[in-house]
Amino acid sequence: MQRLARARGAAAQAVVSEPAWHEPRLRALAGWAARVVVVPAPLFAGISALDSPAQIGFVLDLPPAASVQAAAATVVLDRLQDPGNVGSVLRSAAAFGVAQVLALKGSVALWSPKVLRAAWERTSACGWPRAGRGRAGSAASAARGHQFTRRAGTAAGRLALALCWVLGHEGQGVSATLLARCALQVRIPQPGGEESLNVAAAAAVCLYESARQHAGALGAGSTARRQKG
């Protein structure tokens, strides 16, 4: 929460339970908000969706919608509905340098609480990719200038770093409309014999492989974290 508050600047409002207000650390954290509201503990429990909330919450303004960048590395979410999957994809996108994520109609809201909880440790520290809603036409626009790629099918050779990866619905896969626009299919070898990977796991593998094939895309950051640890 502290890293997110610092990354996003002043919050519009902090909501703090009465017991938390008497804790110096949480009171100081609430000071990043323009306005602070202190409520009884039972009322705060009714506000939070968590079983054991942190007793402090913030109201943050959503970032303005960004225009689609045609030549940027992109992930397109085609009707992904599980918040945990989407949050994990956002974390992988941030880790491997993807510049933008487009969630097409039918996908879970990128700023929903469950998505944020799944994504936030990574993205709050390093910044979100540009994230927003889009249409199939927006996805096609993002593909101009580089390959439009989906995960499935045949083995791939060398991958460009600025790919547009299309990740489809957990059960139905990529829609026929988007599939027709894809130029390349890739397969992830699974020697263990499982039928398929979870979409979030497959996304992490694909994004890692895209970055791995380009010198310097991963090495510096990964080495620095290992040395620090």
* The two three-digit tokens of residue 96, written as one number: 């491997």
Average pLDDT over residues 180-204: 85
Please state, as a whole number, how many other Cβ atoms lie within 10 Å of the Cβ of residue 111: 14
Q: Read out DSSP for 77-109? A: EES---HHHHHHHHHHHHHTT--EEEEETTSPP
- Sheet containing strand 13-17, strands side by side: 36-39, 13-17, 56-59
β partners of residue 152: 186
- 216 pLDDT tier (thresholds 50, 70, 90): low
Average pLDDT, the chain: 76
Write the single-letter amino acid at 99.
A
Under 8 Å between Cβ of 86 and 39: no
> pLDDT digits over 16-56, tens only?
999 999 999 999 999 989 999 999 999 998 888 777 888 99
Size (the chain), residues = 229
Give the per-residue pLDDT at 9: 59
Mean pLDDT is lowest, of 21-35, 101-115, 121-135, for: 121-135
Residue 133: pLDDT over 80: no
Using DSSP, state whether 24 is helix, strand or coil: helix
What does the pLDDT read at residue 26?
A: 93
Greater confidence (199 vs 51) lies with 199
pLDDT score of 220 more than 80:
no
- Per the CB < 8 A criterion, the answer to whether 197 and 205 are in contact is yes
- The percentage of the chain sitting over the pLDDT mark of 70, rounded to a whole number, equals 72
Which of 11, 82, 17, 84 minimizes the C-alpha distance to 45? Answer: 17
If one counts every other C-beta atom within 10 angstroms of the C-beta of residue 209, the result is: 14
Q: Which residue has the tokens 């996805």?
A: 139
Query: Rounded distance, CA 212 to CA 111, Å?
Result: 29
> Are 77 and 87 contacting, i.e. CB atoms less than 8 angstroms apart?
no
Q: What is the DSSP code (8-state) at residue 182?
A: -
221 vs 161, higher pLDDT:
161
Looking at residues 147-151, what average pLDDT do you find?
Answer: 45
| Token code pair at residue 112 | 């929903």
Predicted pLDDT at 138: 52
pLDDT at 161: 61
Most confident of 3-7, 167-171, 193-197: 167-171
Which residue type occupies 175? Answer: S
The mean per-residue pLDDT over the stretch 189-214 comes to: 87
